[in-house]
Each structure stands twice: as C-alpha cells, then as structure tokens.
Amino acid sequence: MANSASHPLCEKKFLNNTKDRVVDLIVLVLLFSLLVYRLLYLSDHGFIWFIAFLCESWYTFFWLLWINVKWSPVDYKTYPQFLLQSVPDLPPIDVFVTTTDPMLEPPITTANTVLCLMAVDYPANKVACYVSDDGCSPLTLYSVTEASKFARFWIPFCKKYNIQVRAPMLYFSGYSASSPPSNISSEIFQAEERKMKEEYEKLKEKIEDAVQGKIPIDLSGDYAVFANTEKNNHPAIVKVIWENKERISNGLPHLIYVSREKRPNHQHHYKAGAMNVLTRVSGVMTNAPFTLNVDSDMFINNPKIVQQAMCLLLGLNHRDCAYIQCRELSYNELKDDPFGNDLFAAFELVGRGMAGIQGSFFGGTGFHRRKVVYGLTFDAHANEQGKLSYEEMKRRFGNSTKLIKLATQTLSVESDTKVDQPEDLSSCIEMACQVASCDYELETAWGSEVGWMYGSITEDLVMGMKIHSQGWSSVLYLPDPPAFIGSAPPGGPIVTIQKKRWATGQLEVLSSRNNPIVLAVKTKLKLRQCLAYIFILMWCVSALPELLYSLLPVYSIVTNSHFLPKVGEVASVLVVALVLIQNIQTFTFSMGHGQSLRKCWNTIRMNRITNVTGNLFAYLTWILKLFGISEAVFEVTKKYHPTISDREGAYAGRFSFDDSAMYVPITALLFLHMTVLAMPLLGLRPLNDVVGYGPGLFEYGVSAYMVLSYWPYVRGLFGKGKYGIPFSTKCKAALSVLIFLLLCRLLG
C-alpha cells in the first residue's frame, strides 16, 4: 500500500485556459447570430438557404460539444523516485502484444516490440509478456523465440547504459542517439554497442530468411503443433518461451506465446476476442493486478513508463483510476505529417479535456487494472464488495476452476499488490489452453459484463466508455519522453481503410444499445462525459453535413444563386469573423505546441479528405450492417517502414491511390469545384442567368478552399502509376459530375 505520509506519487493539475474559453464562446455567439440571420431571410431564398441553415445548425451543435470537451483540461505528474519508498514490493504487471498476420505485421517488428517490453525499467520478476498470435504462424513463434535469445545480451546492455529507445530496430537506425554514462569510457561503450549491432543483424537475418522461406522452419519439436494448422482452423497453442525460473529481479521477464483456438464459422471478435483470451490466459498463469497492452508495432519510448504508471494506479486518491492512456507517436512520420497521422489534437484537446471530466477515452494502447477488466464497478471496489458466489463467478467467468479462484481473489483483494504467483508456468499450460478455446466463452459474460466488449471494431473506445459507465475514472498521461512510439500508415489506401474502420466502429457504438446517452441515463457515466463521447462518436457523422455544405457553392455558381451573404452586407462580417477567429485559434494552438504551420494545415486538409473518403464509406458499411447485409470487418493495417528513398525521394509525402470506390466521391467533388472555378475564366454562363442574384466572392472562396484541401488529389489527377488516380475512377467521377449538374438544372 502506498504510504500516505510519504511524498505523493502523483499530482493532478487543472490547466488555465481562460483565453481559449473566451474565444470559444465568441465563436459560439457568432454561430448563433449566423443561424438567426438564416432564419430571418429564409423565406427570401430557396431551399439552399434551408440546407445551409441545417448544416450550420449541425456545426453549432458540434461546437457546443467541442466547448464541453475542452472546457477543463488537466495534466498529471508522477514521482517515480518515491515509488520504492512507498511501495517496496512493487506489483506485478502482465504485458500483452497482439499480432494477426505476419505478412501485414512483419515478425521482425513484433520481435522488436517484445524486446523493448521485456527491457522496461521494472523488476524482471514482476513482468510477464504474452504475445497473442491471431495468425497462428510458426514465423511469429520463431521470431519471438529468437528475440528472447538476443534479449539476454540486449537487456543488460540497455539497462547498463540507460538506453532510451530499447527497440533495436529504432536504436540502430539512429532514431535516438545514446551516449554512455559519464563514468564509462566511450570506447568500452562503442565496443559493446558494435557487438550488439552484430548480434541484432544476425537476429534480423535469421527472421528475414525464415519469412522469405530461404530457411523454412522445421515443423517438428516445438513447432510440430503447427504442422496441420490453418490460420482459421487450429486448436489453442500456448508455449512458455522463457520463464524467469529463479524469479530474479535483474533477469529476463517471462515470455509466453498464445494462439487462441480458431474454427471456421466461429465468431472471433477480432482484437477484442484476442484481448479476452490474453486476459484469461494470463489470469490462470501470472494473474498480475495490472496489465499493459500494445499493438504489434507499438514500441516503448520511455523505459520508466511502467513505474510512472504505477505511481498513478497506486497513488491516486481512492485508487479510482481504472486505466491510463498515453499519447502514441510515430517513428516513421514524414516531415510535416503530410498524411495527418499524428493524433496530437485528439490527445492534447480531447484527451486532456476528458481527463478533466471523468477520464480520457481509451485508444489502443494502455495500462488497465485487472479487476476493472473483470467487470468490477467502482462502488463495489470502494466498498470492498467484490466477492461473488461461486455460482455467479462460474456464470460470468466460465468453467475454469483455476480462473474462478484467482479471479475471485482479484475481485476481492483490497490490496492491488498481493498476488499468488504459480510455482511453475509450464504446469499452467493445460488450463491456459482450456481458457483459450473457442467454446470457453459460450454462455458466459465474456464480451458483455466481463472483459473487452464485443460488437464494435473499435473495441478500445467501447471498453473505455464501459469502464466510465461503471463509475471509474481514467488518466491521460503525457510524459516526457512520450511513452509509446508506433508506425504510421502511409497516405493512400492503407490510411483510408484505417480511418474508415475507426469511423465505422464509432457509428456502430452510436447506434448500439450501449450508446453514451443510454449509459448516461442508466449508469454512472457523467453528463459531460457522455457529451464528450458523443463528440468523439459523431466526429465522422459530420461527413454528411460537410459534403452537403461543400456542394452548396457549386450549386450556387451553376444556378447563378448564392448561399452566403454578399461582400459588404452586414452579415458578411459574421462570416469573415468566424473564418478568421477559428483559423487563428487553430494555428496559434498548433504553433504554441511547436508544430509547423505546414503540419497544422496538413491536419486540417486531411480532415477534409477523410470526411469524403473513409468517413463517407464508413456510413455505407454501417448501413449495410444495420440492414444485416454484411458485417463490419476489422481490416488490419499494414505496418509500414519507409526506406530512406521513400522519406527523402521525389515521392516522399505523395498520396497513392488504387481503384477503390472510396476515391470516386472525392474525385467527383474535385471536378465539380474545378469546373465552377473555371467557369468565369472560360466565359461559361450559369444555367439560370438572372442578373444581380448570382454568386459572390464567398461562394468562389469556398470552392477554392476545397480545391486547396484536395490538393493531393489534384496531383493525383496527373500522377503516374500508384501516384495517379486510376482512369476508371476518373470516369466514374466524371459521370457523377454530369448527374449532379443535371440535377442542378432540374432544381435550379
């Protein structure tokens, strides 16, 4: 238990944002004034005025949600230097890595993830690392096994020289240069470093040879289980790759490989299913009170992060912190983030803001309190009422007597540090396979009351929301150096598919029985937290109003009408003020946080692009699911490591395309805006030529803004190979443009 008399382990501080609040409120007043203006002149204008009114109402509503999210941001500080003094016997932690497909997620990356997790600055006898392989691939087992052999040299090296980035892949690519501590001669350091590099190169070569099939893996001995398996048809496989038998603190953590049972026609629930299996397998093996989960490409960037996390999990009042969310950086981000991968604003504004209400959202990577994952509510935890009858435990947790026994301890133990560790991990394998089988969850509460929720492909967001609804809070922790660093997808089909998946997941949650409104009414989800979740979930809903709004200038120019006030009209001041204030606010925020102007613009531009590509198609996927026509599928992101020529060559930052239907609407929109901008230049006359009632500067301004936002697609129109928009996409887009123009003619 943390000793309350000693120095606090952490601190929560509300940040002063008065200026920001004032600006936000001014914008709100301007937005309402614009709505009033619309209403006053509604009868004088056609239906486009009405559509503009609807879109602006949506935007005003969204602005209100935005103000709520950002209103009270907080920051957390930790003091790990006092941790041992307060908690001499540190609690164990189970660490999970998920991987799915060795072709999309290269085994060398997974091996690096495992290496840096095993090398964290935390007693090795308190860490167990589990690798979940949904691909059931001997390549993954082989890579991780080989990595564990290299770990015997690598981990002592990292700890001795206090290396910051302990993924050798990044370390040796010069991602962050380390220098030896001052009392060690640099020659000794360099000699050791050279040796490590040689060993790592050997490891890399072995893994690459296996992947390329140059030296196929011999499917005998440890690998015999893979002899007759298919990715989606195989029994559960659990292997202890390395056990810290003597339980020594400066040894190597346990390392366990898990491939859950898969059968055709059995619903596996993607990552949520994998997380539940990991929770159970670790639950019968090491049963640590805390867990950390990362994707196969998420490296540790701050080796002290586990200690810092413990400060928060053990040091906060009432220990009401259920999980810790950290910001993830990407190591392969190109200059100025042309593809908008950095979720900087999502963490700085939304995450910090929510942390000031009930706690940050959960996104992908983070620390959890096991009892929370087991479905314990905060009230039951606070009143020490976690104990349930054996029958009830069996209904919830399934048939494993061992799991029931250990879960009962986890739920009822008031101290988060006391756990019974098994004598010998190998003796638990049979039980681990039992809880990793397909049928284990049948008629249990896994996926609903217990574990990670099923039903959405953004399982992380749902999990966070469920935890808040049970009265817990959570923390957004943004340490320096940042905790995690992963790989960013390149801008092209991969990033569009990822954004589509996120948006589809958000729509799934919004239309589910567990949407934030229902939860706010029925559970402990606070009202402001509910509104914050609505804001996140509705982010992609904006795609539709935005699409409509961006069509208004086209319609106006083609039909010789207008939907914005004329320059010089009093109302035009409103429009100018809104555009100026919001943009100045965005740019000063970004630049205040050390971001370049270009990066800020790239983020804005990427929002415009995503809205009419990934987000629009998320609507479609969601509608197909609603009508039961098809299920939303978790399409795993291909992990990408750019070569030097990708990053610095002539094509660095260029968008790439394929013949996916996702690129038709945006190409069509681009054609439309280019056409209307060209009309005056080409001397083309609008369809309906009534003098004095035509479009003004603002309509042309919006169209020009859209063309600028879609600039990567303008380049795509003229690009070659994968950098060019396919001819078939252009034809389909041109056809849509013709249909739209005909419609304008009919309506205008």
Among the listed residues 68, 78, 100, 550, the single contact to ligand UPG using CB under 6 A: 100
Task: Specify the DSSP class assigned to residue 15.
Answer: P
Contacting residues for 611 by C-beta, under 8 A, at least 6 apart: 540, 542, 543, 546, 547
| Closest distance to Mn ion from the beta carbon of 651 (Å) | 24
| Closest distance to Mn ion from the beta carbon of 233 (Å) | 26
Coil/strand/helix, residue 13:
strand
Residue 498, contacted partner among ligand UPG, Mn ion, none, CB below 5-8 A by kind: ligand UPG
Among the listed residues 161, 397, 502, 617, the single contact to ligand UPG using CB under 6 A: 502
| Closest distance to ligand UPG from the beta carbon of 71 (Å) | 27
Interface positions, 202-241, toward ligand UPG (CB under 6 A): none
Residue 271, contacted partner among Mn ion, ligand UPG, none, CB below 5-8 A by kind: ligand UPG
| Structural contact between residues 143 and 335, judged by C-beta atoms closer than 8 angstroms | no
Q: Binding segment for ligand UPG among 44-52, 373-381, 572-580, 630-638 (CB under 6 A)?
A: 630-638
CB-count exposure of residue 542 (10 Å: 0-12, 13-18, 19+): middle
Which member of 24, 295, 337, 460 is catalytic?
A: 460
Chain center to CA of 209: 32
DSSP alpha helix (H) spans, 356-458: 370-373, 378-382, 390-397, 401-412, 429-435
- Choice between 134 and 295, CB closer to Mn ion: 295
Residue type for 563, please? F
Residue 286, contacted partner among Mn ion, ligand UPG, none, CB below 5-8 A by kind: none
| Closest distance to ligand UPG from the beta carbon of 490 (Å) | 13
Residue for token digits 């010789």?
560
Residue type for 621, please? T
Task: Work out whether 498 is an interface residue with ligand UPG (CB under 6 A).
Answer: yes
Interface positions, 250-289, toward ligand UPG (CB under 6 A): 270-271, 274
- Choice between 342 and 459, CB closer to ligand UPG: 459
Chain center to CA of 443: 31
- Choice between 56 and 460, CB closer to Mn ion: 460
| Closest distance to Mn ion from the beta carbon of 493 (Å) | 16
**One symbol per residue from 325 to 364: x for binding ligand UPG (CB under 6 A), - otherwise; what is it?**
---------------------------------------x
Residue type for 118, please? M
CB atoms within 10 A of CB 661: 10
d(C-alpha 641, C-alpha 84), whole Å? 39
- Residue closest to Mn ion when measured from CB atoms: 295
R_g over Cα of the chain: 28
- Choice between 293 and 709, CB closer to Mn ion: 293
CB atoms within 10 A of CB 187: 9
| Closest distance to ligand UPG from the beta carbon of 636 (Å) | 4
Is 320 labeled as catalytic in the residue annotation? no
Tokens describing residue 50: 């009405």
Q: What is the DSSP string of 49-98?
A: HHHHHHHHHHHHHHHHHHHHHHSS-EEEEE-GGGHHHH-SSPPPEEEEEE
Which member of 134, 297, 337, 416 is catalytic?
A: 134
Interface positions, 123-142, toward ligand UPG (CB under 6 A): 132, 134
Q: Binding segment for ligand UPG among 168-176, 200-208, 454-462, 649-657 (CB under 6 A)?
A: 454-462
Residue 210, contacted partner among Mn ion, ligand UPG, none, CB below 5-8 A by kind: none
Tokens describing residue 389: 């009858």
Among the listed residues 24, 146, 337, 460, the single contact to ligand UPG using CB under 6 A: 460
Interface positions, 422-441, toward ligand UPG (CB under 6 A): none
Residue 274, contacted partner among Mn ion, ligand UPG, none, CB below 5-8 A by kind: ligand UPG
Is 689 labeled as catalytic in the residue annotation? no
Q: Distance between terminal CA atoms of the chain?
A: 73
**Taken in order 322, 259, 115, 458, is the CA torsion positive or negative?**
negative
Residue for token digits 């969850």?
441
Task: Work out whether 99 is an interface residue with ligand UPG (CB under 6 A).
Answer: yes
| Closest distance to ligand UPG from the beta carbon of 626 (Å) | 19
Contacting residues for 319 by C-beta, under 8 A, at least 6 apart: 313, 369, 381, 416
Most distant CA pair in the chain, distance: 90
- Choice between 303 and 366, CB closer to ligand UPG: 366
| Closest distance to ligand UPG from the beta carbon of 104 (Å) | 7
Q: What is the DSSP string of 646-694?
A: HHHSTTTT-----S-GGGHHHHHHHHHHHHHHHHHHHTPPPSS--TT-S
Residue 636, contacted partner among Mn ion, ligand UPG, none, CB below 5-8 A by kind: ligand UPG
Residue 460, contacted partner among ligand UPG, Mn ion, none, CB below 5-8 A by kind: ligand UPG
Among the listed residues 20, 94, 105, 441, the single contact to ligand UPG using CB under 6 A: 105
Residue 467, contacted partner among Mn ion, ligand UPG, none, CB below 5-8 A by kind: none
CB atoms within 10 A of CB 439: 12
Q: Binding segment for ligand UPG among 78-86, 244-252, 496-504, 531-539 (CB under 6 A)?
A: 496-504
d(C-alpha 117, C-alpha 124), whole Å? 11
Among the listed residues 86, 98, 112, 667, the single contact to ligand UPG using CB under 6 A: 98
**One symbol per residue from 276 to 295: x for binding Mn ion (CB under 5 A), - otherwise; what is it?**
-------------------x
d(C-alpha 518, C-alpha 717), whole Å? 46
Among the listed residues 78, 637, 709, 729, the single contact to ligand UPG using CB under 6 A: 637
- Choice between 244 and 365, CB closer to ligand UPG: 365
Tell whether omega for the bond before 481 is within 30 degrees of 0, i.e. cis.
Answer: yes
Secondary structure, 3-state, 139-174: HHHHHHHHHHHHHHHHHHHHHHCCCCCCCHHHHCCC
- Choice between 80 and 505, CB closer to ligand UPG: 505
- Choice between 70 and 260, CB closer to ligand UPG: 260
- Choice between 298 and 432, CB closer to ligand UPG: 298
| Closest distance to ligand UPG from the beta carbon of 149 (Å) | 23
Residue for token digits 């346990």?
254
Q: At what angle do helices 664-682 and 727-747 cross, to 10 degrees?
A: 60
Task: Work out whether 458 is an interface residue with ligand UPG (CB under 6 A).
Answer: yes
Residue for token digits 């630049």?
591
d(C-alpha 157, C-alpha 163), whole Å? 8
CA distances from 124 to 94, 156, 444, 477, 710 (A): 11, 11, 34, 24, 50
**β-sheet with 299-300: strand ranges across:** 299-300, 484-486, 328-330
Q: What are phi and psi of 77, to 5 degrees?
A: -125, 150
Interface positions, 46-105, toward Mn ion (CB under 5 A): none
- Choice between 284 and 343, CB closer to Mn ion: 343
d(C-alpha 549, C-alpha 557), whole Å? 14
Interface positions, 671-700, toward ligand UPG (CB under 6 A): none
CB atoms within 10 A of CB 552: 21
Number of residues that bind Mn ion (CB under 5 A): 1
Among the listed residues 311, 636, 706, 733, the single contact to ligand UPG using CB under 6 A: 636
- Residue closest to ligand UPG when measured from CB atoms: 364
Binding site for Mn ion (CB under 5 A): 295
Binding site for ligand UPG (CB under 6 A): 98-100, 105, 132, 134, 270-271, 274, 295-296, 364, 457-460, 498, 501-502, 505, 634, 636-637
Which residues are tagged catalytic?
134, 460
